[in-house]
């Protein structure tokens, strides 16, 4: 066995064990309030404190940060599709996640915020057909299409599209991670040996209808009110552009 | 798959929970203890490495700026030793400050003279940083020069300039880059409503949607020999006397605060619920507090003196502890390190001081405050001459009463240049999917 194969096998075993442990933590903590339906907004939970009134939609610019990367993803039916089908044509809110994540400031927080945003967008007729949410797994080994289907089972049908996607393999995933600048780490011991579950900086990407990232949110700034204002800002801008054409 | 007993699962779950607790991003945190609140993976235990951004010195080695890595884990066999050094080439660029990206995988470092921004990969192998990109067109693209503060924003890096390419004066602005190094936007410092247009440091309080900036001086001053500069009364007028409150989301200045005497480093209290920041003024040797008044209006007020202002001790770097109850202040001219009790930020009280060098500038502390690191260099042309031109990194242990030396690296003796900014590194996090990433290359 070559050293690289041994390392791959070791990493695989560690990640599998980590997922099991994280799942156990989630079960023990009962950390699944996030799977509430859309009829009501979820409780604030681990959401960061917001002690300000955000500037009104349309009163500030949202600069072009980068193009959203493209690559092959799998939908819930296991069909291979280009990611660009889910990052263009509508204003898109995209976040990476993995189903066994139990960090209250990580995926569950993003899930909760996505629910809130979706609920509020659904009440805005001018927005609901122009906005999409995307949850993309960075744990393809465990988050298969069928696992993702189970993950989103608690999501009520609503007027606002919410796509749950995964990839065929880490090889297909890595270009998307690198393209978005999304880190994924695994804790290691003093000798550099992997110890526990996957870790990542929670990032949520706001992408305009042309596929350009216009805002990035992390835990310290993941406020539904701000996100809604930003969506409205992009909508106002595109409406102005349509009028001028 | 191996079957776990309930007890082993519980133990495993606790271990996993502890591991998670150690690595989740802190929503309200800053660093060890001055990093951006958007930065994840704060090192709350023992740091393994100290990255030092060192100014090149002509005739010393290749004369170029270097990123020097020192092993600072007392349990290591190479504790207190330089384990890696990486020259960026091109002669002295006036290495100054550094800042991690939000995910702590990359370290951006600036040169105040050549305005080059060097981006190091410190995530792949924290013991051996790699130079992965150099940005050399800041002046051409933005009109600003002297990249000083590197402040992580989500997926981006906000860079504060000190000067401008047109006249080398202090009127400047900020440049926002994507983490990939692409310029996203520029923001001029305010020049109306009391603004002097100068810049120095950036500090953000996300929960208040507030960004606070401070002001120093332009390239014509900071690249001039200090002895000449202080004799030039007109030049000495060209220092910043303001701080600015910005609407962070809109990136628009809201209010300019009068803070005379070059307010430099800004530190928000890291205690949950606190909404105040503190700064030190270099020329007037004061501590200033910035906080909202009873009506919610942001105000700045002088709250303490540092040493004897008449002797111009020149306060430089400051370091606040994790709960906002204490502040280290280094004063360059007298080489002293002072500790202020900030229990009442309206009335800071100095409770300790000791000489830590013939000249001292930067100071960094571990998250728990027990380890303190001091660097010697301020600016190439402001550092002292002769025997007073010590260049070092000194480590200390702080027990709440006394700073005790632990190690020293003599940068002159080891031909490393002038020791300036310091950042911590850890070997306890590694990238997942390394194999897949490597196989794509």
Q: Render B133-169 in DSSP notation, one character per residue.
A: EEE--HHHHHSEEEEEEEEEETTEEEEEEEEETTT-S
Q: What does the block give as tokens for B138?
A: 């800041």
Each of the 441 residues of chain B gets a pLDDT tens digit; together they read: 333 333 333 333 333 333 333 333 332 333 466 777 777 778 889 999 999 999 999 999 899 999 999 999 999 999 999 999 999 999 889 999 999 999 999 999 999 999 999 999 999 999 999 999 999 999 999 999 999 999 999 999 999 999 999 999 999 999 999 999 999 999 999 999 999 999 999 999 999 999 999 999 999 999 999 999 999 999 999 999 999 999 999 999 999 999 999 999 999 999 989 999 999 999 999 999 999 999 999 999 999 999 999 999 999 999 999 999 999 999 999 999 999 999 999 999 999 999 999 999 999 999 999 999 999 999 999 999 999 999 999 999 999 999 999 999 999 999 999 999 999 999 876 667 765 665 554
Query: How much is the pLDDT for A219?
Result: 87
| pLDDT higher than 80, residue A122 | yes
Q: How far apart are CA B71 and CA B34, in angstroms?
A: 21
Give yes or no for residue A22 having a pLDDT over 50: no
What is the residue-averaged pLDDT of chain A? 81
Model confidence at A38, pLDDT cuts 50, 70, 90, reads very low
* CA dist list (Å): B282 to B111, B227, B306, B426: 21, 16, 10, 32
Q: Looking at A132-169, list the stretches that DSSP marks H as alpha helix, in order from N- to C-terminal side.
A: 145-151
- The model's pLDDT over A67-92, given as tens digits with 9 standing for 90+, comes to 999 999 999 999 999 999 999 999 99
What radius of gyration do chain A's Cα atoms show?
18
Mind telling me how many Å the CA of A244 is from chain B's nearest CA? 25
Do B27 and A220 lie within an 8 Å CB cutoff? Answer: yes
Residue A116's SS3 state is helix
CA proximity to B374, closest of B355, B391, B389, B394:
B394
Looking at the complex, does the CB of residue B69 fall below 8 Å from at least one CB of chain A?
A: no
Between positions 410 and 439 of B, the ones with CB within 8 A of A are: 427-437, 439
**Predicted pLDDT at A108:** 84
- Residue A30 buriedness (CB in 10 A; 0-12 / 13-18 / 19+): exposed
pLDDT band of residue A201 (cuts 50, 70, 90) is confident
What phi and psi, each to the nearest 5 degrees, are found at residue B221?
A: -90, -45
- Phi/psi at B198 (nearest 5 deg)? -85, 160
Element (H, E) at B300: strand B298-305
Residue B206 CA to residue B152 CA, distance in Å, equals 12
Query: What is the residue range of A89's domain?
Result: 3-244
Where does the pLDDT of residue A15 fall: very low under 50, low under 70, confident under 90, or very high at 90 and above? Answer: very low
CA B233 and chain centroid, separation: 30
Say how many domains are in chain A. Answer: 1
CA B5 to chain centre: 48
Residue A64 with chain B: CB contacts under 8 Å = 184
Q: What is the ipTM of this complex?
A: 0.89
Does residue B326 sit in helix, strand or coil?
A: strand
Residues of chain A contacting residue B27, judged by C-beta atoms under 8 Å apart: 46, 48, 105, 219-220
User: Which chain B residues are Cβ-neighbours of A25 within 8 angstroms?
Assistant: 13, 16-17, 20
B332 contacts B318 by C-beta, under 8 angstroms: no
As a whole number of Å, the CA-based R_g of chain B is: 21
Taking residues A215-234, report their average pLDDT. 95
Q: Is B20 within 8 Å of A22 when comparing Cβ atoms? A: yes
Contact A218 B207 (CB under 8 A): no
CATH of the domain at A53: 3.40.30.10
Q: Please tell me if residue B301 touches chain A, with a CB cutoff of 8 Å.
A: no
């Amino acid at each position: 066995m070559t050293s690289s194969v041994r390392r791959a096998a070791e990493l695989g075993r560690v990640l599998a064990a980590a997922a099991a442990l994280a799942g156990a933590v989630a079960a023990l903590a009962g950390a699944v309030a996030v799977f509430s339906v859309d009829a009501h907004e979820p409780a604030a939970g681990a959401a960061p404190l917001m002690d300000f009134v955000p500037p009104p939609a349309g009163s500030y610019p949202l600069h072009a940060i980068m193009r959203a990367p493209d690559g092959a993803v799998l939908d819930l039916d296991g069909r291979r599709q280009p990611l660009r089908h889910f990052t263009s044509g509508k204003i898109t809110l995209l976040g990476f996640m993995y189903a066994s994540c139990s960090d209250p400031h990580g995926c569950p927080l993003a899930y909760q915020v996505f629910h809130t945003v979706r609920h509020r967008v659904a009440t805005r007729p001018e927005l609901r057909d122009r906005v999409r949410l995307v949850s993309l797994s960075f744990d393809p080994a465990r988050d298969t299409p069928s696992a993702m289907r189970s993950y989103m089972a608690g999501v009520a049908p609503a007027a606002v599209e919410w796509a749950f996607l995964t990839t065929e393999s880490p090889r297909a995933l890595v270009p998307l991670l690198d393209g978005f600048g999304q880190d994924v780490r695994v804790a290691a011991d003093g000798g550099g040996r992997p110890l526990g579950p996957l870790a990542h900086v929670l990032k949520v990407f706001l992408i305009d209808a042309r596929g350009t990232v216009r805002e990035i949110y992390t835990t310290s700034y993941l406020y539904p009110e701000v996100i809604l204002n930003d969506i409205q800002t992009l909508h106002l801008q595109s409406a102005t552009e349509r009028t001028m054409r | 798959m191996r079957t776990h007993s309930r007890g082993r699962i519980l133990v495993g779950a606790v271990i996993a929970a502890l591991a998670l607790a150690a690595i989740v991003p802190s929503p309200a945190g800053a660093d060890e203890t001055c990093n951006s609140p958007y930065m994840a993976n704060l090192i709350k235990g023992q740091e393994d490495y100290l990255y030092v951004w060192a100014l090149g010195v002509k005739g010393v080695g290749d004369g170029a700026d270097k990123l020097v890595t020192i092993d600072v884990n007392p349990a290591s066999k190479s504790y207190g030793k330089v384990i890696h050094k990486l020259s960026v080439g091109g002669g002295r660029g006036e290495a100054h400050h550094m800042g991690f990206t939000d995910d702590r995988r990359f370290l951006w470092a600036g040169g105040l003279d050549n305005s080059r921004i060097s981006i190091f990969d410190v995530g792949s192998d924290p013991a051996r940083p790699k130079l992965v990109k150099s940005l050399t067109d800041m002046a051409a693209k933005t009109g600003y020069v002297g990249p000083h503060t590197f402040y992580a924003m989500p997926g981006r890096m906000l860079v504060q300039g000190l000067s401008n390419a047109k006249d080398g004066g202090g009127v400047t602005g900020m440049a926002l880059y994507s983490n990939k190094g692409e310029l996203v936007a520029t923001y001029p410092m305010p020049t109306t409503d009391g603004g002097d247009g100068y810049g120095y440091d950036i500090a953000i309080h996300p929960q208040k949607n507030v960004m606070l900036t401070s002001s120093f001086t332009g390239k014509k001053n900071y690249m001039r020999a200090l002895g000449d500069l202080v004799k030039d009364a007109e030049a000495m007028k060209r220092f910043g006397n303001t701080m600015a409150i910005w609407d962070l989301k809109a990136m628009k200045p809201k209010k300019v605060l009068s803070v005379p005497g070059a307010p430099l480093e800004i530190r928000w209290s890291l205690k949950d619920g606190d909404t105040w920041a503190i700064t030190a003024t270099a020329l007037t040797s004061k501590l200033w507090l910035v906080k909202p008044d009873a009506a919610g209006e942001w105000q700045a007020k002088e709250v303490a003196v540092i040493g004897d202002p008449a002797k111009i001790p020149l306060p430089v770097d400051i370091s606040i502890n994790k709960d906002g109850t204490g502040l280290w202040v280094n004063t360059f001219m007298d080489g002293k390190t002072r500790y202020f009790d900030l229990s009442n930020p309206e009335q800071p009280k100095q409770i300790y001081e000791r000489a830590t060098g013939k000249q001292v500038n930067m100071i960094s502390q571990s998250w728990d405050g027990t380890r303190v690191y001091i660097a010697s260099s301020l600016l190439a042309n402001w550092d002292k001459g002769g025997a007073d031109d010590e260049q070092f990194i000194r480590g200390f242990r702080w027990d709440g009463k006394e700073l005790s030396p632990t190690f020293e690296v003599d940068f002159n003796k080891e031909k490393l240049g002038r020791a300036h900014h310091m950042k911590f590194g850890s070997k306890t996090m590694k990238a997942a999917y390394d194999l897949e990433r490597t196989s794509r290359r």
